[in-house]
């Protein structure tokens, strides 16, 4: 039997407001435990929540970016549950009437394909605190700094079909919220977390199978692995005649497996009801229009612009636009080099390969955009050959951590990487190579043009790649 996986993701996006969603306490990461929890966050009696206007604007901005309906009227509800890091005994969220309704994104896959993924809704809510299990032996600490941090929960339709699509969706949403400047995107600090819902069904079936939900995944790679593990687990259960239990699971990256956490609660369990302390949220068309007017350029528009204005291929333009940090780096390289195609090639080729290997981030690339731009300039004015340019790149990359921002021209001189120009030295080398290889020379004279490549190769080898292959070609032809 062929099985088809069905995947839907819920993303929690921490909104980059300075204060919390219902209080004036700071949201900054890394403060001493409980230094940033005020009376509202603690849920002390007699205090009232006040909605943060910026969180609302960020939600609207997101909604507009995914072409969603913005609900002018939305309601904050209490989601009731007990947990030590939730002192109020309820989380303020939006249930029946979220601020952002149905929208969609076009998923760009690495193989060049694309698919439309529907987004069910996005709603505002407050985050809970943190239980700290590893600080006090035998005890759990409670840190309420995160309590009340604004979250936008983005719920996708079960439209994703493969682990790779799930990872691509997460990655693309990550890029989008950073483009929109509504989230810092810091995955290690938990600024974006993902719950993955997974089920499988016989290929061709129209009904969904029973699903499980894997909670709190904070990396693209882990979401791909967790979903893959879960798909295989479902298939194993079903093929051995069992049934999948609806439950909440946890991914353990060290063992690359998921484990049951608890039975899945249903929404009835939470006893949602409108929060009597907060008025329904009524958005004016003016506010929505003002947010729309401040919308930054989005990845799709940037892709189109790179194609139209710079003549990049669709593939290159997409690759560079998808991540705002990459796009910014590319713009900075281009500003120096003035050569769009070469800038794209170096970023997508050598730089990406090096960064991938080191799991590095382009925003902290050891080779700065200015350096790469200058390197390309020197390639274009024939100071460097493609070979010596690669040598220089390696050198800048290796030195970057300890000596950032080395002067490119000084390094070319120091390493002796200048391409040999049409000097007597080069002509002498050509003569030497011709004299040293009489058999090949005879073949060349007899019209065997392929042997020309052999001679060029010999000269390049002698000059350690510093000769200009075109000039070497010409010199050899002159000799003939
Ligand atoms: P809950 O309230 O339990 O979180 P929702 O109905 O809001 O449930 O759905 C949560 C997520 O689960 C959504 O992203 C949705 O696309 C996904 N989902 C729903 N049904 C399935 C299914 N059968 N298989 C995989 N994902 C599913
Ligand atoms: Mg859920």
Give, rounded to a whole angstrom, the gap between the first and last alpha carbons of the chain: 69
Average pLDDT of every residue of the chain? 93
| Tens-place pLDDT, residues 36-89 | 999 999 999 999 999 999 999 999 999 999 999 999 999 999 999 999 999 999
Regarding the beta carbon of 6 and ligand 1, being less than 6 Å apart is answered: yes
Global model pTM greater than 0.85 = no
Residue 79 CA to ligand 1 centre (angstroms): 18
Q: What is the pLDDT of residue 188?
A: 92
Name the residue at shortest CA distance from atom 20 of ligand 1.
Answer: 158
Regarding the beta carbon of 465 and ligand 1, being less than 6 Å apart is answered: no
Q: What is the pLDDT of residue 46?
A: 92
**pLDDT of 335 above 70:** yes
Q: What is the pLDDT of residue 35?
A: 96
Q: What is the pLDDT of residue 422?
A: 65
**pLDDT of 100 above 70:** yes
Helix (H, G, I), strand (E, B) or coil at 414: helix
**Cα 104 to Cα 4: distance, rounded to the nearest angstrom:** 22
Residue 97 CA to ligand 1 centre (angstroms): 17
Helix (H, G, I), strand (E, B) or coil at 154: strand
| Tens-place pLDDT, residues 273-291 | 999 999 999 999 999 999 9
Regarding the beta carbon of 103 and ligand 1, being less than 6 Å apart is answered: no
Residue 124 CA to ligand 2 centre (angstroms): 14
Q: With left for phi above 0 and alpha for psi between -120 and 50, is residue 45 left, alpha or beta?
A: beta
Regarding the beta carbon of 210 and ligand 1, being less than 6 Å apart is answered: no
The two tokens of residue 197 are 């819902």
CA atoms within 13 A on the CB side of 347: 32
| Bridge partners for 262 per DSSP | 248
Residue 69 CA to ligand 2 centre (angstroms): 21
Residue 368: its H or E element: none
**pLDDT of 108 above 90:** no
Name the pLDDT band for 359 (thresholds 50, 70, 90): confident
């Amino acid at each position: 039997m062929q099985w088809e996986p069905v995947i839907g993701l819920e993303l929690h996006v921490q909104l980059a407001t300075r204060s919390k969603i219902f209080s004036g306490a700071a949201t900054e990461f890394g403060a001493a435990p409980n230094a940033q929890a005020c009376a509202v966050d603690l849920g002390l009696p007699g205090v009232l929540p006040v909605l943060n206007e910026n969180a609302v604007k960020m939600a609207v901005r997101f909604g507009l970016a995914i072409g969603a309906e913005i609900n002018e009227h939305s309601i904050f509800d209490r989601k009731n549950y007990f947990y030590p890091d939730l002192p109020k005994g309820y989380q303020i969220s939006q249930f029946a009437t979220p601020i952002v309704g149905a929208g969609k994104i076009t998923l760009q896959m690495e193989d060049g394909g694309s698919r439309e993924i529907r987004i069910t809704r996005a709603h505002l809510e407050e985050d809970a605190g943190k239980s700290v299990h590893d600080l006090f032996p035998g005890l759990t600490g409670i840190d309420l700094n995160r309590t009340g941090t604004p979250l936008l929960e983005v719920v996708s339709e079960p439209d994703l079909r493969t682990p790779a699509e799930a990872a691509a969706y997460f990655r693309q949403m990550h890029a989008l919220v950073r483009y929109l400047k509504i989230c810092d995107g810091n995955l290690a600090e938990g600024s974006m977390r993902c719950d993955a819902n997974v089920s499988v069904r016989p290929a061709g079936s129209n009904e969904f199978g029973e699903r499980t939900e894997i909670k709190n995944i904070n990396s693209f790679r882990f979401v791909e692995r967790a979903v893959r593990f879960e798909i295989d687990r479902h298939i194993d259960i079903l093929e051995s005649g069992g049934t999948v239990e609806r439950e909440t699971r946890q991914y353990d990256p060290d063992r690359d497996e998921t484990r049951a956490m608890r039975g899945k609660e249903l929404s009835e369990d939470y006893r949602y009801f409108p929060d009597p302390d907060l008025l329904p949220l009524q958005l004016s068309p003016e506010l929505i229009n003002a947010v729309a007017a401040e919308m930054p350029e989005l990845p799709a528009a940037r892709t189109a612009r790179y194609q139209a204005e710079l003549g990049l291929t669709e593939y290159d333009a997409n690759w560079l636009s998808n991540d705002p940090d990459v796009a910014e780096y590319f713009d900075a390289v281009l500003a120096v080099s003035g050569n769009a195609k070469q800038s794209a090639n170096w970023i997508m080729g050598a730089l990406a390969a090096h960064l991938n290997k080191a799991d590095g981030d382009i925003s902290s690339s050891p080779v700065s955009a200015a350096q790469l731009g200058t390197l390309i300039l020197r390639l274009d004015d024939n100071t460097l050959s493609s070979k010596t340019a690669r040598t220089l790149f390696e050198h800048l990359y290796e030195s970057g951590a300890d000596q950032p921002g080395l002067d490119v021209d000084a390094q070319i001189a120091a390493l002796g990487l200048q391409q040999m120009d049409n000097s007597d030295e080069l002509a002498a080398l050509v003569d030497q190579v011709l004299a040293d290889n009489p058999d090949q020379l005879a073949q060349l004279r007899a019209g065997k043009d392929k042997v020309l490549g052999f001679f060029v190769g010999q000269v390049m080898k002698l000059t350690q790649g510093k000769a200009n292959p075109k000039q070497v070609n010409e010199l050899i032809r002159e000799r003939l």
